[in-house]
Amino acid sequence: MSGADVVEAVFETVAGAAPEIRESLVGRRRYEAGENPSGEQQLAADVYADELFEERLLALDGVATYASEEREDVVEGADGDYHVALDPLDGSSNVKSNNAMGTIVGVFDAPLPAGGESLVAAAYVLYGPLTTMVTLREGTVTESVVHEGERHVGTADRSLPDEPTVYGFGGRVPAWTDAFADYASEVEQELKLRYGGAMIGDVNQVLTYGGVFAYPALTTHPNGKLRRQFEGIPIGAIVEAAGGASTDGERSLLATPPEDLHERTPVFVGNRSLIERAEATLSA
Ligand code: AHG
Ligand code: MN
Ligand code: MN
């Protein structure tokens, strides 16, 4: 199978699973005993989604390994040239409050952990009022509505609006660094607050309306909360391909390969002007 065929098969599998993932949330809002490799509580729905995706993605021709934020190590499959990194449920704490959440996919042509230079495709599914899927392949960002597991293209070439409108900043305000607090107080004067507790929901607001999403380095968490491999790189790539920019505070999220599969990174994605201002303020 060609690389394009493998990517399409991964996208089809993830879209195809969307109805079952939605259904699986019912009755799986309880926390399991275990923790994920980031030391966070796991929802029963996290574990279910992770097991479902592992089985179906490793069954695809061309997919050699599967890694997820919910499991310590990379899982070896059959021979293949592609490696899939998944955040099976992003924003799973939103399941209890019935708010938006998503699935994040990165397809790499190098063994994991791998950086932006090895990313061949990325996608996210947003389980909102509708189920939608945003995909990046060959430099193009496409948004589709997912109905009964099938993608119906809505916007074939999605790009950020030139004029930013919304912002969403994570982390507790008392834990913001002085530099980030300075940046936030500027942006708050200019844009509307949209923060929903699931990166995918918040990033989709930025992709739709223009603006900036950030989960910054905190005084309590110097590398922030989000994972470079499973959240920073795929989402940074999608926003950059849509005409925006990303940074970890110093450089594009695609510029620094993860050393550890589960390492965290500060994440900023959005309109280029807002990302450049963040870098300028944080490096002042
Ligand atoms: P996940 O559920 O995959 O662990 O991701 C949750 C992340 C991300 O989706 C969101 O931006 C952030 O956690 C929210 O963190 P707070 O609860 O600290 O706001
Ligand atoms: Mn998750
Ligand atoms: Mn996540």
Class of domain 166-283: alpha beta
- Residues tagged in the binding site annotation: 69, 87, 89-93, 195, 225, 231
Task: With a cut of 90, say whether residue 284 has pLDDT above it.
Answer: no
Q: Tokens representing 5?
A: 């065929």
Q: Please give the Cα distance from 46 to 242 (Å, whole number).
A: 29
Name which of 35, 39, 66 is nearest 52 in CA terms. Answer: 66
* Opening angle at CA 245, ends 244 and 248, nearest 5: 155
- Residues tagged in the binding site annotation for Mg(2+): 69, 87, 89-90, 231
| Pairing mode of beta strands 192-193, 211-215 | unpaired
Q: Give the position, in ligand 1's atom list, of the atom nearest the Cα of 230.
A: 3
Q: Give the position, in ligand 1's atom list, of the atom nearest the Cα of 36.
A: 4
In the structure, what pLDDT confidence band is assigned to residue 178 with cuts at 50, 70 and 90?
very high
In the structure, what pLDDT confidence band is assigned to residue 41 with cuts at 50, 70 and 90?
confident
Above pLDDT 70, what percent of the chain?
100
Task: With a cut of 90, say whether residue 29 has pLDDT above it.
Answer: no
Pick from 71, 93, 267, 268 the residue to mutate for probing ligand 1's pocket: most ligand atoms within 8 Å of its CB: 93
Residues of the chain with CATH 3.40.190.80: 166-283
Distance 159 CA to ligand 2 centre (A): 26
Cβ neighbours of residue 134 under 8 Å, at least 6 residues apart? 123, 124, 126, 141, 142, 143, 144, 158, 204, 207, 238
Residue with the smallest CA separation from ligand 1 atom 17 is 197
Q: What is the pLDDT of residues 237-254, one digit of tens each?
A: 999 999 999 999 999 999
| Residues lining ligand 1, Cβ inside 6 A | 40, 87, 90-93, 170, 197-199, 215, 225
Q: What is the DSSP letter of 37?
A: T
Q: Please give the Cα distance from 212 to 268 (Å, whole number).
A: 7
The CATH homologous superfamily to which domain 3-155 belongs is Fructose-1,6-Bisphosphatase, subunit A, domain 1 (3.30.540.10)
Residue type, 135: T
Q: What is the pLDDT of residue 32?
A: 85
Q: Give the position, in ligand 1's atom list, of the atom nearest the Cα of 94.
A: 2
Q: Give the position, in ligand 1's atom list, of the atom nearest the Cα of 213.
A: 11
Q: Tokens representing 146?
A: 């997912």
Residue with the smallest CA separation from ligand 1 atom 15 is 197
Indicate the pTM of the whole model: 0.97
Q: What is the DSSP letter of 218?
A: B
Residues of the chain with CATH 3.30.540.10: 3-155
